[in-house]
Amino acid sequence: MKIIKTFILLIFTFAVSLAQMNINTSQVQQQKGNEDVKALLATAKKLMKEQPDEAVVFVEKALEISLDTKDKKSEADCYLVMGDINYSIGQYTKAIQFYKKSEDLYVETKSAKGQYKILKKLGDAYGNAGESELSQSYYKKFLQQAEKKKDTDDIVYARGVIADYQLKNQQVDSAISNVSEWLKIEKSRNNPDGIIQASNKLGNIYSETNQSEQAIQNYNYSQQVSEENNDVDNQLSTFNEMGKHYRSLKNYDKEIEVRQQSIELNLTATNTDQTMLANDNLEIGTALMAQNNVTFAIPYLQNSMQYSQEVGDIEQQVVAIKNLSQAYEKSGNTTLAIESYKQYVELSDSLLKAKEKELDDRLAMATMLNDKQKVIENLEEKNKLDNERIELLVTGQQIKNMVIYSLIAAIGILMVGSYLIYRSSRQKRRANQMLALKSLRSQMNPHFIFNSLNSVNNFISKSDEKSANKFLSDFSRLMRMVMENSKYDFVSLGSEISILDLYLKLEHSRFENKFDYSFNVDSNFDKEAVQIPPMLIQPFIENSIWHGLRYKEEKGFLSVEIKQHDKNIEVQINDDGIGRRKSLELKTKNQKDTISTGLINIENRVKTLNQLYNTGIQLEIIDIDEESRTGTNVKIIIKNVVNNPGL
């Protein structure tokens, strides 16, 4: 009996030792896994800004380890970094999804540090995603926790962001209270940079709420602190805020005085801030033009253009050259006005292409990340299925039930996955169509502008300065209307008619010996209620004039008619020109390619509009005299224009 007891005791001791050894082994494995995860996530953070797609690969490896070791804290850290990667490329909705997963796991693991950290990130992400109320909810929680932790950096950050939201929602007193508390904290810890930022923020709030005296007091205090600490950057920044304040009051003399002080300080500084020099010169030039001091404005605008070119700021160049063109026009220098305007058009086109490329690159990066993030989703699904398999081994009945549940879950996942893939594909296709439509509009506007500028050059070459000035004045008005309409996919018919009427007058003044015209619009419908795509009709009128009537030996006639039939608009463009066949015979190969490209662009634009907005636009182009192939009739029909679902 004693031998049996001893044997049982040995077996029990061995079992306990084995269990303890397994526990220790598991702890060692988890500790090793945690160290590997930290190293992988550290690498991902370094790659995040420059190579976000490569950063995702390291997070995938870290997540795989976290799931294998069942380390939920590390899993939460992985989702946090995935949120940061998506946030860095502007995918805020996707970032929120990962941050929420991270938040749930930090709550589950009772990680106070993780929960605190995620509050700020969710506040930032919701704010950038346009979810202001949710953003404020998280910032307020973040502020409460920061005050408990006495983390002054986080406290002042939260108060500044909350104040911005309060000001936007007309809660002026609350906004002032938050920023005043921020300023008090910065003074208590003797932080000059923070004092300047908070004081400038207070100045901006008072400026926006028309409390000029208090605004100036805060700006002057910022300048005083900046000077005492030899902080040139903050001095320049404060001068800029003061300049904007005086501009809002239309006190141009004070604005010019402040910005000239800024320029003098900047030029004497050790490290000249050329971006600020470009801005100050531009704003002084603009203020002088507002005072009709055009002659004095021109040198400042030229300086702004030069500094903008040196720092490669195309957006600043576009604004500077546009204002410079207007200044030349007002000063009577027609030649420089036209040259500057051409440069403005070229820079605008370059800027548009650069932004389109940026959109394309971001879309491509988002698509690539989505593909790589599917690996993470697969890891989550694999981990989920692994856990389910373990549970299947408990009892035979559970096995049967879990098989059924797994099949149902798999079918559900497949259905949801299929739907998400379909929805994602549809959204991407629509985004691509929108980019294509924008690109086609951008190709038409420069072509239209340069054709019109050729007309101005013609008058100048004939030394007809009076006609050139008249044409330039009308042309400038036309350009403003065209540029304004080019921002939108649809504009009112009344707006488009105004553009067509002015365009026909300009072209007739250019070719008055070549054709007469009539322009008739049906008066039986509300032109402002009807919406049509901008610059849809004008290219066909341009083709009739430039490729049909211009080459006719005798004087021709152009007829443009816009009428309504039921809920459709019908546009008829008729000319008795030389016809399409004869026009094609007269063209060079390059001209033929240009015409062909123009027509293809119009057809592609119509096709895209029909797909996106169900406009039902129909085009029909025929020869009026089929036997001689002369004269051209263009018919455009736009269906359902009043109740267009895309508007």
C-alpha distances (whole Å) from 355 to each of 11, 322, 345, 435, 438 are 75, 19, 15, 11, 11
Angle among Cα 612, 632, 636 to the nearest 5 degrees reads 25
Q: Find the helix or strand (DSSP H, E) in which 647 lies.
A: none
| Tokens 């008829």 sit on residue | 572
Which tokens hold the place of 233?
Answer: 């950057």
pLDDT in tens, 609-632: 788 777 788 889 998 888 888 899
C-alpha distances (whole Å) from 595 to each of 10, 490, 499 are 97, 25, 22
- What pLDDT score was predicted for residue 26? 44
- What pLDDT score was predicted for residue 589? 54
- E strands, 189-253, are none
- What pLDDT score was predicted for residue 480? 84
Residue 87: closest CA among 109, 63, 120: 120
Within 10 A of 290 (CB to CB), how many other CB atoms are there?
13
Q: Around 532, how many Cα atoms within 13 Å sit in the side-chain half-sphere?
A: 26
The string of DSSP codes covering 70-101 is T-HHHHHHHHHHHHHHHHHTT-HHHHHHHHHH
Give φ, ψ of 572 to 5 degrees: -115, 125
Residue 274: closest CA among 283, 263, 285, 258: 263
> 530 and 573 in contact (C-beta within 8 Å)?
no
* Cβ-based neighbours of 605, under 8 Å, separated by 6 or more: 437, 440, 441, 444, 533, 536
Q: What share of the chain is helix, strand, coil (3-state, %, to 5)?
A: 75, 5, 15
Q: d(Cα 62, Cα 489) in Å, to the nearest integer?
A: 46
Give φ, ψ of 558 to 5 degrees: -120, 130
Q: Helix or strand or coil: residue 618?
A: strand
> 281 and 307 in contact (C-beta within 8 Å)?
yes
> 186 and 227 in contact (C-beta within 8 Å)?
no
Q: d(Cα 471, Cα 121) in Å, to the nearest integer?
A: 56
Q: d(Cα 626, Cα 170) in Å, to the nearest integer?
A: 68
pLDDT in tens, 508-552: 888 889 899 999 998 877 888 888 888 888 888 988 898 889 888
Residue 52: closest CA among 94, 93, 80, 82: 82
- What pLDDT score was predicted for residue 21? 47
pLDDT in tens, 252-265: 999 999 999 999 99
- What pLDDT score was predicted for residue 436? 46
Q: d(Cα 490, Cα 437) in Å, to the nearest integer?
A: 12
Q: d(Cα 574, Cα 558) in Å, to the nearest integer?
A: 6
Stretches where the chain sits below pLDDT 70 are 1-33, 358-366, 368-453, 455-456, 458-460, 462-464, 587-599, 640-647
- What pLDDT score was predicted for residue 27? 45
Which tokens hold the place of 583?
Answer: 């026009």
* Cβ-based neighbours of 13, under 8 Å, separated by 6 or more: none
> 303 and 277 in contact (C-beta within 8 Å)?
yes
Q: d(Cα 283, Cα 567) in Å, to the nearest integer?
A: 49
- Max CA separation in the chain (angstroms): 132
Within 10 A of 517 (CB to CB), how many other CB atoms are there?
18
**561 strand-pairing partners:** 520, 572
Paired sense of beta strands 531-532 and 515-521, if any: unpaired
Within 10 A of 380 (CB to CB), how many other CB atoms are there?
15
Q: d(Cα 392, Cα 401) in Å, to the nearest integer?
A: 8
**558 strand-pairing partners:** 517, 575
Q: d(Cα 55, Cα 43) in Å, to the nearest integer?
A: 7
Strand order in the sheet with 630-638: 515-521, 556-565, 568-575, 630-638, 618-625
C-alpha distances (whole Å) from 89 to each of 118, 365, 366 are 19, 8, 8
